[in-house]
Structure 1
C-alpha cells in the first residue's frame, strides 16, 4: 500500500493537533509544592512535558516549511529526531515512575 507524502503530513498534522488540544485543554495549572526550596517534582515534570510539546511544535513547523520549500531537509530530520528522542525520554521516565509506584504498593506495612 503506497502512501503519498501529502496524506502522511495531513495525518501527522491531525494527530498532533489532537495531542496539543488534549495537552492544553484539560490540564490545570499545578502549584509548586515547595516554592521556596528550589525545583519541586511537579515543576520538573511540568518543565519536561512543556519541552516535549515545544520540540513537537518545532518539528511540525520545520516540516511545514519543508513542504513549502523554505527549510532544509536536514534541519527537518534533526527536529523530528529531537522530538522523537524527547518523547521516548518522557515515556521512559513515566515507565520508571509507574514501576516505582507499583513497588511501593507491594511493600508490606
Structure 2
C-alpha cells in the first residue's frame, strides 16, 4: 500500500483483524508478557515484512527474472549478515551463560 505493492482492501483488513483477535483471545491469560520479548518479536515481524516488500519490489521491477531458488541464493547471505549482530549481542551471551542444552 505505502510502497505501491498492494492496494488497500477492506476485506483484507477484516481478515487480519479476525486472526489477530483470535490470537489475542487464545493467548489471554496464558502468556507472561515481557516488554523486551515483545519488542524483539515486533522488530522481527517488521524486519520480515520489510524483507518481503523489498523482495517483491525487486522481483516486479527488475528486468532479470529470478526463480525463488535463485533469489534465495542471493538473499540468504545478506540475511545471515543482517541477523548476525543481534544474535551475537543478545542471543549468544545468554546461550553461553545458560549452561543447560536447549530442549
Same fold judged by TM-score > 0.5?
no
Query: What's the TM-score bracket when you normalise by the shorter of the two chains?
Result: 0.3 to 0.5
What TM-score, normalized to structure 1? Answer: 0.38
**Greater relative contact order structure (CA < 8 Å, 6+ sep):** 2
What TM-score, normalized to structure 2? Answer: 0.40
